[in-house]
Amino acid sequence: MGSRAESILLAVVVLLSSATASAQPSLQWVNGPQLVFERESQSSWVTFELNRLTDVEVALVDPASSLVVRHLAAGVLGDNPPPPLVAKSRSQKIAWDGKDDYGLPVADPAKLTVRVRAGMSVKLDRIVGGDPYAFWSELSGQGDHAQWMVTGLEAKSDGSVYVLGNSTFYGAPTIRQYDARGAYRRTVFPPPAGKPVDDVQGWGINVRDDGTYTLQSRSGWGQASPSKTLLSRGGQALCATLVPTSASDNLCLTSVAGRDFGNQQMTIGCDGTLRENQVNVMLGGEPLPTRGFSGNLFSALSSDGKSLYVSGLFANDNAQGISTTGFWRDGQVWKVDLATRKTQVFFSLDEKDVIATMKARTASSIGHTSANPYAALQGVATDAEGRVFICDRQNKRIVVLDDEGKLIREIPVAYPDAIAVNPKSQALYVTTRFGDYGGNGEMALLKFGDWTKDDAPEVSLPLRSGIGKFRENSHLAVVEDKGEMFVWVAYTTLPVRVYQDSGTSLELVKDFYEAGPQRALDLQHMEVDQKTGDVYIADAQGFCFRITDWKDPQFVLCKQDAKTPLRASSIAIDARSRHLYTHYHWGTPVYRWSMDGDFFTPAPAGVLQKESVVTIPGRPVPTVGSAHAITPPIACSWIFTGLGERGIAVAPSGGLATLGVLPDKNNRADDYSGPLHYFKPESARVPWQPLRFSGFGGQKPRSGGIRFDPRGNLYVGLHNGNVNNMPQGFDRDPDFKATTGRIYKYAPTGSVEGGTLFPKEPAAPDKVYDIHYGPLGPQSRTPRFGVDGYGRVYYPTGQLPRVSVIDNEGNPIVTFGTYGNRDSMGGLPGDLVPTKDLPMAWPNSVDATDDHIYVSDIVNVRLLRIEKQFALSMNSE
Neighbours of 757 (CB within 10 A): 26
Closest CA to 709 of 798, 631, 785, 816: 785
The per-residue pLDDT of the chain, averaged, comes to 88
Lowest mean pLDDT among 284-298, 536-550, 670-684: 670-684
DSSP, res 679 = E
Distance CA 113, CA 90 (A): 21
pLDDT in tens, 787-802: 999 999 999 999 899 9
First to last CA, the chain: 61
Instruction: Classify 18 as helix, strand or coil.
Output: helix
Q: Judge residue 620's burial from the number of C-beta atoms within 10 Å of its C-beta, 0-12 exposed, 13-18 middle, 19 or more buried.
A: exposed
Q: What is the pLDDT of residue 19?
A: 41
For residues 373-396, average pLDDT: 96
Q: What is the pLDDT of residue 261?
A: 56
Structural domains in the chain, CATH included, are 25-126 (2.60.40), 135-193+236-515 (2.120.10.30), 525-784 (2.130.10)
Q: Are 615 and 546 in contact (CB under 8 A)?
A: no
Instruction: Classify 10 as helix, strand or coil.
Output: helix
Question: What are the φ and ψ backbone dihedral angles of 173, each rounded to 5 degrees?
Answer: -65, 150
For residues 454-481, average pLDDT: 91
Instruction: Classify 562 as helix, strand or coil.
Output: coil
Closest CA to 58 of 74, 80, 78: 74
pLDDT in tens, 206-233: 888 888 998 887 655 555 678 878 887 6
Q: What is the pLDDT of residue 617?
A: 45
Q: What is the pLDDT of residue 89?
A: 97
Does the pLDDT value for residue 786 go beyond 90? yes
Q: What is the pLDDT of residue 754?
A: 81
The percentage of the chain sitting over the pLDDT mark of 90, rounded to a whole number, equals 65
pLDDT in tens, 13-30: 333 334 444 567 899 999
Lowest mean pLDDT among 51-60, 292-301, 680-689, 720-729: 720-729
Does the pLDDT value for residue 56 go beyond 90? yes
Measured CA distances, 602 to 212, 561, 606, 651, 760 (Å): 49, 11, 12, 19, 30
Q: Are 744 and 771 in contact (CB under 8 A)?
A: no
Does the pLDDT value for residue 803 go beyond 90? yes
Q: Are 93 and 35 in contact (CB under 8 A)?
A: no
For residues 815-820, average pLDDT: 97
Q: What is the pLDDT of residue 572?
A: 97
Instruction: Classify 379 as helix, strand or coil.
Output: strand
Instruction: Specify which residues 797 forms β-bridges with.
Output: 774, 802
Does the pLDDT value for residue 355 go beyond 50? yes
pLDDT in tens, 695-724: 664 456 788 999 999 999 999 999 877 788
Q: What is the pLDDT of residue 232?
A: 75
DSSP, res 287 = P
Q: What is the pLDDT of residue 663?
A: 67
Instruction: Specify which residues 36 forms β-bridges with.
Output: 45
pLDDT in tens, 162-182: 999 988 877 778 999 999 999
For residues 412-432, average pLDDT: 97
**Which residues are CB-neighbours of 622 under 8 A, at least 6 positions away?**
588, 633
Q: What is the pLDDT of residue 18?
A: 40
